[in-house]
Amino acid sequence: MSTTYHEPFDSLSEDARNIHRALASVIEELEAVDWYHQRAECTQDPELKEIVLHNRDEELEHAAMGLEWLRRRIPSLDEHLRTYLFTSENILAVEESAGDGESGGSNTSAPGSDLGIGSGKGGN
């Protein structure tokens, strides 16, 4: 059982537990990306650098798979990713053009999909 649950484990639905598992996995994969990236940056051995970058890219693949699983289950994440990913505009300009600057457009999240963590802009 994970020690990072913020609510009693038995109070969480299986869906909430699975979302937690996926989020924890994505975080772990991105940490591994950072470690491999730093190692590749520092090594002077070209063959080792190639191997370490290959390993980094494998971790990126794993993170992307977990993120896609989450996107399919959290409507507001899907909305934000559709707003910000694969654009070439300035990211803050995208936010401004999205309307209210927080939800990336209309607020059409499904009932119960809010993770209860606020916008990250101070205050919930």
Q: What is the DSSP annotation of the chain?
A: --S--SS-GGGS-HHHHHHHHHHHHHHHHHHHHHHHHHHHHH---HHHHHHHHHHHHHHHHHHHHHHHHHHHH-HHHHHHHHHHTT--S-HHHHHHHTSSSSSSS---PPTT---S---SSS--
At residue 63, the pLDDT reads 98
**Mind listing the pLDDT tens digit for each residue in 48-104?**
999 999 999 999 999 999 999 999 999 999 999 999 999 999 999 999 998 754 544
Q: To the nearest whole number, what is the mean pLDDT of the chain?
A: 84
More confident residue, 103 or 26: 26
Residue 17 reports pLDDT greater than 90 = yes
Whole-model pTM: value is 0.74
